């Protein structure tokens, strides 16, 4: 990458997802190793001894408390979401203008599916995925490895080390986003890129009016309250917070994109229809795991109340005619070169 001499600090213009997705409401027919010498936390018996709550398993690193399960059911939902996002992004793994990356870091890698796909697509790159739980596959491309690590703690990677840092779906997990982005800034090489993709927890519709007491709004409001109580927001993708946080961390050439991720097979566009099918199945797998700890342990709901909410939520999300979608925000920015000057 050749450094430009001058760049602008101005971010991209507002990009609210105002364009509706065309609906199609006609019924469809039946339709190598998890280790590495750069590990900052060893895989110990305590990490592998997952917590058990409500018949599900959760990570057991004491420095943090992640609210979603890490069992096979939840992980299947993560993989479905990954493929759904691939179609939603126009069959792309990322949108940042990354060229010839040599070292790539995937923060919150989950099942490792993004890192593995990136490694297959870029065999010249060394890809490292980090997560709290060792739930990644044992057989991976030779240029991909996984590390058990908490991204909220001090990073032990060398400074100016990575060409691309990828973050996705960390909503409800980060108390200070500017701090996280600043860590990424420190460990990116000059000219390197960061990208973050976050999804809202509220389902919306351009076709059906959803009153405040609609289950989609009740669901989202509960998660927003839980996030406030934890100090880890679930509405990070709303407005331009992500863009502003990247700028506060020092990044330039920032681009923000607002995207509607469809829920169900209602879009007329075939790629978005496929994405909607995948997102729906992902939610089928994930909603109970999303709700358990947050609503019962944190907000003090009774199990019966949670079960009623889940029943209503599932009923509405399965209704194709609602044409539901989730606001998805993608932001990416570049770490400037040392010889660059800035203009406002």
Residue 124 burial (10 A CB sphere; 0-12, 13-18, 19+): exposed
Number of domains the chain is built from: 1
Is 106 a domain residue? yes
Structural domain of residue 117, as residue ranges?
A: 16-339
Is 192 a domain residue? yes
Q: What is the pLDDT along the chain (344 residues), one digit of tens a residue?
A: 333 333 334 444 445 565 666 655 555 444 333 333 333 444 455 556 677 888 888 877 554 467 888 888 999 999 999 999 999 999 999 999 999 999 999 999 999 999 999 999 999 999 999 998 888 998 999 999 999 899 999 999 999 999 999 999 999 999 999 999 999 999 999 999 999 999 999 999 999 999 999 999 999 999 999 999 999 999 999 999 999 999 999 999 999 999 999 999 999 999 999 999 999 999 999 999 999 989 999 999 999 999 999 999 999 999 999 999 999 999 999 999 988 765 43
- How high is the pLDDT of residue 59? 76
Q: Please give the model's pTM, rounded to 2 decimal places.
A: 0.86
Is 333 a domain residue? yes
- How high is the pLDDT of residue 342? 57
CATH code assigned at 85: 3.40.50.150
Is 5 a domain residue? no
- How high is the pLDDT of residue 124? 97
Is 11 a domain residue? no
Residues 6+ apart with CB under 8 A from 307: none
Residue 64 burial (10 A CB sphere; 0-12, 13-18, 19+): middle
Is 1 a domain residue? no
- How high is the pLDDT of residue 146? 96
Is 195 a domain residue? yes
Is 145 a domain residue? yes
């Amino acid at each position: 990458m050749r450094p430009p001499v001058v760049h602008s600090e101005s971010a991209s213009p507002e990009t609210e997802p105002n364009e509706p997705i065309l609906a199609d409401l006609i019924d469809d027919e039946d339709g190598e190793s998890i280790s590495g010498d750069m590990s900052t936390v060893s895989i110990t018996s305590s990490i592998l001894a997952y917590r058990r709550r409500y018949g599900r398993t959760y990570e057991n690193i004491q420095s943090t408390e992640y609210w979603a399960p890490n069992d096979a059911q939840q992980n299947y939902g993560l993989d479905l979401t990954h493929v759904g996002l691939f179609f939603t992004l126009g069959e792309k793994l990322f949108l940042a203008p990354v060229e010839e990356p040599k070292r790539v870091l995937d923060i919150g890698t989950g099942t490792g599916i993004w890192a593995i796909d990136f490694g297959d697509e870029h065999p010249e790159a060394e890809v490292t995925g980090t997560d709290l739980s060792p739930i990644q596959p044992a057989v991976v491309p030779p240029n991909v490895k996984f590390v058990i690590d908490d991204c909220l703690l001090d990073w032990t990677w060398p400074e100016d080390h990575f060409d691309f840092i990828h973050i996705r779906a960390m909503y409800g997990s980060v108390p200070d986003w500017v701090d996280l982005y600043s860590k990424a800034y420190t460990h990116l090489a000059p000219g390197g890129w960061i990208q973050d993709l976050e999804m809202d927890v509220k389902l919306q519709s351009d076709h059906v009016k959803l009153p405040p007491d609609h289950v989609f709004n009740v669901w989202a409001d509960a998660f927003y309250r839980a996030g406030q109580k934890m100090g880890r927001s679930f509405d990070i993708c709303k407005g331009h917070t992500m863009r502003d946080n990247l700028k506060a961390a020092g990044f330039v050439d920032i681009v923000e994109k607002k995207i509607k991720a469809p829920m169900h097979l209602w879009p007329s566009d075939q790629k978005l229809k496929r994405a909607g099918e995948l997102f729906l199945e992902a939610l089928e797998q994930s909603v109970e795991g999303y709700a358990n700890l947050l609503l019962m342990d944190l907000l003090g709901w009774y199990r019966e109340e949670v079960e009623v909410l889940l029943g209503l939520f599932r009923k509405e999300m399965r209704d194709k005619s609602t044409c539901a979608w989730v606001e998805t925000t993608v932001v990416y920015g570049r770490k400037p070169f040392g010889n660059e000057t800035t203009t406002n």
